[in-house]
Every structure is written in C-alpha cells, then in structure tokens.
Chain A
Amino acid sequence: MNEIALKELLYKIADDQLILGHRNSEWTGMGPLLEEDIAFSSMAQDKVGQSYAIYNLLHALGEQEPDTIAFTRNANQFHNSIFTELPNSEYDFSLIRHFLYDTAEIIRFDLLTRSAYQPLADLAVKVRAELRYHTLHANTWIKQLGSATEESISRLQHSLDTALPHALGMFEESLYEQDLIHDSIFAGEKILMERWKQQVEIILSKTQLQLPDWDTLTAVNGGRKGQHSEHLQPLLDEMSEVFRIDPTAEW
C-alpha cells in the first residue's frame, strides 16, 4: 500500500471537514431562524468531530497530534478544496454549499466504507450514518427554498451558479489517484463526481432551480495541492489565535 497516497487522501478529507465545519460554526447566533442556527451548529460539530477522527488516523500513521496538525499549519499545507474555505456570505450561498458539499461527502464516505484500509472503512461507516441527517436537512431546505418565493428562488439560483465551479474543485484528482484506486483504498474522484452529479440533478429537478450544462463549467482547482484563495490564511489565523499564544501550553 502506498502510504503517501493514503496520507494525502486522509489529509484532504480531514481538512475539508475541518474548514467547512469551522465556516458552518460561524452561523452560530446568526442564523436566519433559531432552528437553523441550531442545525448548522450540529452539522458543524459533526464535521469538526469527523476531522478530528481522521487526524487521529493520521497520527496513528506517524503524523503529529491532531491539535498540532489542525492549529499550526499554514494555508499552503492545507489540502481542503477552495470551495470549503470561501466565506459564508448570505444564507443562500451557505445552504447551496451545504447541499453540494454534503451530497458529495456522503457518497465519498459511502465509497470509503469499502476501503482496503480497514481503519478508514470502519470510520466511514460511522460517518456515513451521521451524514444521513445532513443530506436530509440539505435536501429538505433546497426543495423548499428552491420553489418558495421569487426572492428565494433567485437567490438560490445565483448562489448555485457561483458555487458550481468551486464545487467541481472538490473532485480535483490526487497525484496518486491511480495508486489509491489500484490498492482499493478509494474508488477515485471520477466515480465520486459522476454519482454526485446524478444526485444533484435528482434533487434540483424537484425545484425551480436550473442546472447549467456541466460541460460549460470549469472547475476551480488548486486546493488539493495547497494553492488556496485569499480566504484561507485569515481563517487559520483566527482559528489558531489562542493556540499560538503558547503552543506548548495546555488549554
């Protein structure tokens, strides 16, 4: 088994979960209604908790402590997709991102339940169960707001158009893609993306939102290689503000 390939896979998944979990948590106290405030917080807690579990797998493979990994790296050492680091913007964008991201995420973890790397397969079973509530939540809200009022439909449409090229960046392939597939660690980004597109089409067909022709879209890549937007470093600076006061201290 190619351990470098495995670690890279684990890093990108964990980084995605941590960064989007962090973004989702920014809605706490600011949600459009209390119920949504609470829902976004739950999902944020799941995501951050899942990232922690994956950093622990990395730690078992010889990487540093989860706190060190998460709170001391710079932006160019993070392998999350650029999509996850974009600011929350208005609720329409956050909701669309939640839908597009979580739809991919549950398929990714579903594929990982069959991973040849057993610790990951075991974790994926647990994560997949948690994610059912996330996609149920996303689908319900997309269907409702995607067919409710003129304003809600046009806001969601606009955010969908903005989000899609970034969402495609989630499927940026690894240098070790073939090794992962060959070693049955992960079925690969192509298969994931195809299944994701189908699922996105199914849900959006139940709304008044229009999906552009996939071929007209260009993926915003780079995140998987540590090339990020200007939004990631400030997020990390904020996240590690207290931790960095004294990284050897116990908090």
Chain B
Amino acid sequence: MYGGGNTFEGIKTDSLAQEDPVKLAEFEARIARGEKIEPSDWMPQLYRKQLIRMIEQHAHSEIIGALPEGTWITRAPGFKRKLALMAKVQDEVGHAQLLYSAAETLGKSREQMINDLINGKSKYSNIFNYPAFTWADSCFISWLVDAGAIVNQLANAKGSYGPYCRALDRICAEESFHLKYGHHCVIYLATGTPKQRAMFQEALNRWWAPMMHFFGPSDKISAHTEVLMKWKVKMASNDDMRNQFLDMYVPKIWELGFTIPDPKLRKNPETGRWDYTEPDWEEFKRVINGDGPCNKERLEVRRIAEERGHWVREALKAPKASYVMPLA
C-alpha cells in the first residue's frame, strides 16, 4: 500500500536563483533525456528536499499502513488467509525498509525520519487514519487501497531519481500479489453468505470517501507543482490518477454486485472521464492535519513501538554487535 496524493505544498522556487545556472540546465537536460539521477550526482537543493519529503511520506505510509491490516493477522479466518496476510503485511514493512534506505541516500537518516513521523512533522497517507472495523475492511484495504497504491507507484517508478525508481520496481512486483490476494478475499465475500456480502458492502460504504481522497485534492485546488512535474518528481496529476483508478476498478466492483455510495458516479461518454460527487476536501484537510478518527492512535502505537525498541537499537550500537543494516 502507499499513500497517493502526497501532500505537496505550494513550491517556492526562490532557492533556484542560488543554484549554479549551468549545472541546473545540465541537470534538467538529463532529466528531459530520461536519464536517472543518482545519489552522488549534482542536484538542486529543492529537488533533494522534495524527494526526501515524498519518499519519506511513502515509507511512513507503508509502516503505518501495516497497522490497520496487521491487527487482522491474528484474526484471519483460516490458514490460507492467515498465511497470505502475514506475508502481505510483512511485505509492507519491507517496503518501508527499502524506502527509508532510498531516502537515506539523500542525506536524511532513518532515525530522523521516524522521529519526524512520531512528532507529527511528516505526513503519511491519509487513508490509514480510518479504522478497519471488520475483516471486510481489511479486504477492502488489501484489494482497493493497494490498487490505488499501484496506480501511484507505477507512475512514480518512471520518475527521475534512480534509487527511488529501483525500490519502486521491486515494490510494484510485490504489490501485484497483494492485489490478487485482496481481490480473491473480496470475491469470496461477494459470493458467500448474505452476511459476508453485507460485510463487504458496509466496508465499501465506509471506505469510499477515504479512497476518493487517497489520490489527493482535485487539480483545481491543489498546489502548483509544475517544477516537480518537470523534474519528474511528481509523475501524474491527482485527478488523472483518480480517474485511472476508477477506470480500472469501478467496473470490477460493480461486476461483483456491490453498490458504490455515490449516485453521481458514472463514466461520462463525452469526456471519457469519470463524473463523481466532489469529495469533501475540507474533511481531507482536517484529517491530514491530525484530526481524523485514528491519527492519534496510529502515531501513539508507532511511538510506543519505537520506545519499546530503543534499548535493542542501543544494544546494536555496542562495540560487540556486528549487525549491519541491509542496503537498498
């Protein structure tokens, strides 16, 4: 999983005036030619800063995203589901590890990033601030949140920063297994008992609004990010990704006989794009700024985990310890 719709704020490009114009031109030409930027290459400060911010948010989303699904590992019904969900959530934690390593190549340590997460300084995907009440919620996440993540990650994998792209290639391969697993779970609910069908319909009702929020504010109101598009940091507009997601998954949801809780939802034959009720962007802002149903709980769990693990990490620093962090 991954939080789409990174919260890009309006980009101030003032700092670009201080960059060496020759180097900057060369850098932009390389990106235009489709070359990858590597950690030791010259890059503008703004590029570095925005990439750290984006990759870090992505890493946080993986580790926080492991929480709502993780609580269903111990309750998964039957061996097949239990084993698959364990493997899936483990993958998500592995994604966090890969992504923190990718971000570290830009000069910010994992420890700093995790501290910023716990202190609320850096964000993670908004969708994980909603609760997973039932097994069907966990199935919704595995199928559709991961599906949204794939739309986002496939786009980003074509970006300009080498280590991030390589991490994403590995991540996308695993995500396709998550998607299959999630879809399979939902098919079983859809074709199961009336109770099972109702469970998923209720999950869909709860999660549709957060899912629409997932790709970030509509292009009409979102911050100007032209320079990030030019530098291939941001690869697609929020509305384009949302539209792509709807194109791929609304038919599949309908096919299973479920009702999507938006009477306006339809593909507009004239524009070829989806019409839908405008998501409540005020709620989105409120939740991403800390006032969602689970923000406090998620960060508190993360904080406790870090605190309880502190002595272990300290012990690994002791001279006798020979533990080596794996590289990205």
A241 to B133, CA, bound (A): 13
Which listed segment binds A: B17-25, B220-228, B243-251, B318-326? B318-326
Name the A residues within 8 Å of B312 (CB-CB). 32-33, 36, 91, 145, 152
B196 at the interface (CB under 8 A from A): yes
CB of B326 within 8 A of CB of A30, answer no
Q: Is B308 an interface residue (CB 8 A)?
A: yes
Residue of B76, B313, B326 with most chain A CB atoms under a 10 A cut-off: B76
Contact A28 B86 (CB under 8 A): yes
Knowing A28-B86, A28-B93 are in contact, say whether A238-B74 is a contact too (CB < 8 A): yes
Q: Judge whether B74 and A22 touch: CB under 8 Å.
A: yes
Contact A251 B83 (CB under 8 A): no
B192 within 8 A of A: yes
Bound-state Cα–Cα, A30 to B321, Å:
22
Query: Is residue A117 contacting chain B, with contact meaning CB distance below 8 A?
Result: no
CA distance A7 to B308 in the complex (A): 41
Docked-complex contact A66 and B188, CB < 8 angstroms:
no
* In-complex Cβ contact of A28 among B73, B100, B193, B311 (8 A): B73
| Interface residue B277 (Cβ < 8 Å from any Cβ of A) | no
A26-B315 Cα distance, complex, nearest whole Å: 23
Stretch at the interface among B2-10, B63-71, B264-272, B289-297: B63-71
B318–A66 CB distance below 8 A? no
Q: CB within 8 A of A44: which of B86, B93, B100, B318? A: B86
Q: Which residues of B contact A66 (CB under 8 A)?
A: 79
In the complex, the answer to whether B311 meets A33 with C-beta atoms within 8 Å is no
Asked if B75 is at the interface (CB within 8 A of a chain A CB), the reply is: yes
Answer whether A33 and B195 are a contact pair too, CB < 8 Å, given A239-B75, A241-B75: no
A174 within 8 A of B: no
Judge whether B255 is part of the interface by a CB distance below 8 angstroms: no
Chain A residues 81-136 with CB under 8 Å of chain B are 90-91
CA distance A155 to B86 in the complex (A): 28
Q: Give the docked Cα–Cα distance between A224 and B275 (Å).
A: 62
Q: How far is the CA of A28 from the CA of B76 in the complex (A)?
A: 14
Binary interface encoding of chain B residues 136-158 relative to chain A, with 1 for a CB under 8 A from any of its CBs, else 0: 00000000000000000000000
CB atoms of A145 and B315 under 8 A apart: yes
Cβ-based interface call for B36 (8 A): no
Q: Tell me the chain A residues, 220-251 only, with Cβ under 8 Å from chain B.
A: 235, 238-243, 245-246, 249-251
A249 to B87 Cα, complex, angstroms = 23
Q: A36-B312, A147-B320, A148-B320 are in contact. Are A242 and B90 (CB under 8 A)?
A: no
Interface presence of B61 (CB below 8 A): no
B77 CB to nearest chain A CB (Å): 4
Contact A148-B318, Cβ < 8 Å, known A25-B74, A29-B66, A31-B305: yes
Known contacts A91-B308, A148-B318, A246-B196; decide if A33 and B83 are in contact (CB<8 Å). Answer: no
Tell me the complex Cα distance, A35–B196, Å: 36
Q: Provided the pairs A144-B320, A151-B311, A152-B315 are in contact, do residues A29 and B77 lie with their beta carbons within 8 angstroms?
A: no
Is B315 within 8 A of A34, CB to CB?
Answer: no
A34-B63, A144-B323 are known contacts; what are 14 more A-B pairs with Cβ within 8 Å?
Answer: A28-B90, A28-B93, A30-B308, A32-B305, A32-B312, A32-B313, A34-B94, A34-B96, A38-B90, A45-B90, A149-B315, A242-B77, A249-B196, A251-B135
B contact set with A: CB distance below 8 Å: 63, 66-67, 70, 73-79, 81-83, 86-87, 89-90, 93-94, 96-97, 100, 135, 185, 188-189, 192-193, 195-196, 301, 305, 308-316, 318, 320-323, 325-326
